[in-house]
């Protein structure tokens, strides 16, 4: 009995430490940084998504876009994808400034191939998404960034 009374507070303390470690929200500290490592994209709140875009989406997308056209995409910014949404802070997608996709007259060429073979698959993985399924209209694809042409 005496032994249990001595041990119990330690168990409680251990549980507390383990709990704090697993809960990324508690790691949001004075630094203003938000730990997103343990969260999937759908689980993140708006501020966590903002931080994740900067830390995890920008570097591979910068590399991919520069690999496609080093001159045009020497430095991409949030506005490269978000357009006006990056300026007003809404980050709403799809983005009006991007080429409208006409599924009846689907774009072809190097730009479309780059989108199809690099941007879409990489972003699908980065955003913990399912690939676009045209039969349901669900999943990540061209019209997650581009508007659909009327």
Footprint of ligand HEC (CB under 6 A): 46, 49-50, 53-54, 57-58, 61, 76, 78, 80-82, 91, 93, 98-99, 101, 107, 111-112, 115-116, 119-120, 123, 127, 141-142, 144-146
Q: What is the closest distance, in whole angstroms, from the C-beta atom of residue 11 to ligand HEC in the complex?
A: 39
Q: Which residues pair with 101 in a beta bridge?
A: 148
Q: What is the closest distance, in whole angstroms, from the C-beta atom of residue 38 to ligand HEC in the complex?
A: 18
Q: Is the peptide bond before 94 cis (omega within 30 degrees of 0)?
A: yes
Q: State the SS3 of 77-94.
A: CHHHHHCHHHHCCCCCCC
The nearer residue to ligand HEC, 34 or 82, going by C-beta atoms, is 82
C-alpha to C-alpha distance for 12 and 137, rounded to whole angstroms:
48
The nearer residue to ligand HEC, 9 or 42, going by C-beta atoms, is 42
Contacts of 26 (CB under 8 A, 6+ apart): 20
First to last CA, the chain: 75
Q: What is the closest distance, in whole angstroms, from the C-beta atom of residue 29 to ligand HEC in the complex?
A: 20
Q: What is the closest distance, in whole angstroms, from the C-beta atom of residue 22 to ligand HEC in the complex?
A: 24
The nearer residue to ligand HEC, 3 or 31, going by C-beta atoms, is 31
Q: What is the closest distance, in whole angstroms, from the C-beta atom of residue 10 to ligand HEC in the complex?
A: 42
The nearer residue to ligand HEC, 15 or 46, going by C-beta atoms, is 46
Is residue 18 classed as helix, strand or coil in its secondary structure? helix
Q: 10 Å Cβ neighbour count for 11?
A: 10
The nearer residue to ligand HEC, 22 or 47, going by C-beta atoms, is 47
């Amino acid at each position: 009995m005496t032994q249990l009374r001595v041990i119990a507070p330690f168990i409680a303390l251990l549980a507390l430490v383990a709990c704090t470690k697993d809960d990324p929200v508690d790691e949001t500290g004075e630094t203003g940084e938000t730990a997103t490592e343990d969260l999937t994209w759908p689980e993140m709140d708006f501020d966590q998504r903002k931080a994740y875009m900067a830390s995890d989406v920008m570097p591979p997308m910068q590399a991919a876009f520069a690999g496609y056209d080093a001159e045009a995409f020497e430095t991409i910014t949030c506005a490269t994808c978000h357009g006006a949404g990056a300026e007003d802070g809404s980050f709403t997608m799809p983005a009006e400034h991007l080429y409208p996709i006409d599924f009846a007259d689907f774009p072809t060429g190097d730009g479309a191939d780059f989108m199809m073979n690099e941007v879409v698959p990489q972003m699908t993985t980065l955003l913990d998404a399912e690939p676009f399924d045209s039969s349901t209209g669900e999943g990540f694809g061209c019209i997650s960034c581009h508007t659909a042409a009327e």
